[in-house]
Amino acid sequence: MAGSLNKVQLIGRLGADPEIKQMVNGKNVARLSIATSQSWKDKNSGERKEKTEWHRIVIFNEGLVGVVQQYLKKGANVYIEGQLSTRKWKDESTGQDKYSTEVILQGYNSNLTMLDGRNKNENSNLVSENKSSLPDDNLNQDKNDLDDEIPF
């Protein structure tokens, strides 16, 4: 259908450590639960209110699954871009049809960006403190002089 778009963008925090499972085809899939919150001041009471929404994220993109597995932990702040998908399944205990709506990340139309800063805390989600994980360069440059900031 021309003129339609299925795109979801979220910024939120992981409510639990990512769940990595292997599919029957041998490839890994990552499942995340992300919380987004909105807050406001109640006009009648002046009290601060907050509402949290939980989003199920399923990542099929192999490169992103590797990043999730290695770097993301509960509480990580992330930007997610994917497509909304609703799937139907049968509840084995009741036999009733159930529906789950998820944000799917697969192919080129998906994005996951870790938003936590490198010095936020010891659980930082960026490769930063372990400079020995960087490839050796042939310039005999001191590893402490490496610039972690990318100018673009």
> Does 2 reside within a domain?
no
Which token pair is 105? 């990340």
pTM: 0.70
- What integer pLDDT is reported at residue 123 of this predicted model? 41
> Does 152 reside within a domain?
no
> Does 98 reside within a domain?
yes
> Does 1 reside within a domain?
no
Per the structure, the count of domains in the chain is: 1
> Does 3 reside within a domain?
no
- What integer pLDDT is reported at residue 5 of this predicted model? 92
- What integer pLDDT is reported at residue 57 of this predicted model? 97
Best CA proximity match to 34, nearest among 137, 105, 121: 105
> Does 150 reside within a domain?
no
Query: Which residue segment(s) compose the domain that 127 sits in?
Result: 8-41+48-145
Helices and strands in the chain: count of H runs, count of E runs: 1, 7
> Does 16 reside within a domain?
yes
Q: Which CATH number goes with the domain that contains 64?
A: 2.40.50.140
Tens of each residue's pLDDT in the chain, 152 residues: 678 999 999 999 999 999 999 999 999 999 999 999 999 999 999 999 999 999 999 999 988 999 999 999 999 999 999 999 999 989 899 999 999 999 999 988 899 999 986 544 444 333 322 223 333 433 344 444 444 555 54
